[in-house]
Amino acid sequence: MPLTTTGTITNLQEKVIGPARLTLKDDALAIKSSFKTVRGEAGMDDTYNSPKFPGVTAFGLSEGVDMVTETLVDSNVAISATEVGVSVEVTKKNLRTIKGSEFLRNAGKAMASAVNVKQEQDCATMVDGFGTVVGLDGAVAVIGSLSAAKAQLASNTEPINEMMMQSVSCVISPYGWHAIAQQLFPTGSGDSHAPMAPPPGGVSEPVYRKFFPTGYHFGTPIKLSTNLVASGTDVRSGVWHRDAGLFYEFMPVQLETDDSDKSMRSMELDMVIDYGFGELNDGFGREWDHSNVAPTS
């Protein structure tokens, strides 16, 4: 018996197209948000100067003996902003054949994500540039390195005092957090790098509720990022005070549309941000080196 099927009627069938999916990136500003940020205003120069007043020393005095004066010499860190941008051009005919407004919204989201990732990758170079390192390439991340980094910050030439410690953050790779989580919540006493007993239930319960770190390690927030600098199979995580470096956002991100090129019959989307970044105090940060090999258990 002859049948009429979907294979014989093809020209009357409508295509079903769902909403466009975006290619996801790790665009959360975990690294940037842990550094000091200064936003420029109209009339400000594109170079931000951060002068530093020197310290002085007090001495015991002897009656009748003149005091020794000290010479004050200040220092300065200059951070110059440069433009970073991303551009997308699409023909007007293409916009006519699709849902143009939805396409432009999604393009804007993708461009903003790219700008965020660029900021994170730039700030990650400051973490990689800290002069003092805890941890070790080729070795799994251990929670003792986090404790050691904070102890070193508190004992630095310019010490991070108790109040300042509230502005210290830790940013670590997901694989590093996996190793730390196994130490905090061991699968069994046979784990050589884990304690014999897990933390109390009141501590473990909120952490078990989601994959990402919850709460603080002795007051220090732990954040995850895949934008840290990698070296082979190792990664440069870090522990630092927000004043260790500065992000100067001279001009906030702007999205503009340009359809002035009439002969091209197209629309161009341009997203630009103007910023600079640099280290302010090397002693306020510690680079944390550890293996970044994908775990299997």
Distance CA 199, CA 190 (A): 16
| pLDDT at 223 (0 to 100) | 93
Closest CA to 135 of 11, 279, 239, 21: 239
The residues near 213 (Cβ < 8 Å, ≥ 6 apart) are: 177, 207, 221, 222, 223, 224
For residue 262, the model assigns a pLDDT of 82
Q: Is 217 helix (H, G, I), strand (E, B) or coil?
A: strand
Residue 224: strand, helix, or coil: strand
Per-residue DSSP letters for 19-31? Answer: PPPP-------TT
- Between CA 72 and CA 86 the distance in angstroms is 46
User: Residue 227: what residue type?
Assistant: N
Query: CA 178 to CA 237: how far, in whole Å?
Result: 14
Amino acid symbol at 53: F
Predicted pLDDT of residue 297: 82
What is the pLDDT, as a whole number, of residue 283?
A: 95
List of long-range contacts for 108-113, beta carbons under 8 Å, 24+ apart = 108/255, 108/269, 108/271, 109/22, 110/22, 110/23, 111/86, 111/255, 111/269, 111/271, 112/27, 112/253, 112/255, 112/271, 113/22, 113/25, 113/27
Q: Give, for all 297 residues of the chain, the pLDDT tens digit.
A: 678 888 888 888 888 888 888 888 898 999 999 999 999 998 899 999 999 988 888 989 999 999 988 888 889 999 999 999 999 999 888 888 888 788 888 999 999 999 999 999 999 999 999 999 999 999 999 989 999 999 999 999 899 988 999 999 999 999 999 888 887 776 655 554 545 555 666 666 666 566 666 567 778 889 999 999 999 999 999 999 999 999 999 999 999 988 887 888 888 999 999 999 999 999 999 999 999 999 988
CA separation, residue 205 to residues 90, 185, 193 (Å) = 50, 11, 22
CA distance 107 to 95: 12
Q: What's CA 117's distance to the chain center, in Å?
A: 8
Dihedral sign (CA 188, 189, 190, 192): positive
Specify the CATH superfamily of domain 32-52+74-291: Major capsid protein gp5 (3.30.2400.10)
Cα–Cα distances (Å) from 213 to 26, 95, 127, 221, in that order, read 16, 42, 20, 8
pLDDT at 13: 81
Query: How far apart are the two ends of the chain, measured CA to CA in Å?
Result: 58
Q: Give the list of residues 6+ apart from residue 131 with CB closer than 8 angstroms, or none.
A: 282
Q: What are phi and psi of 189, to 5 degrees?
A: -70, -10
Contacts of 59 (CB under 8 A, 6+ apart): 67, 68
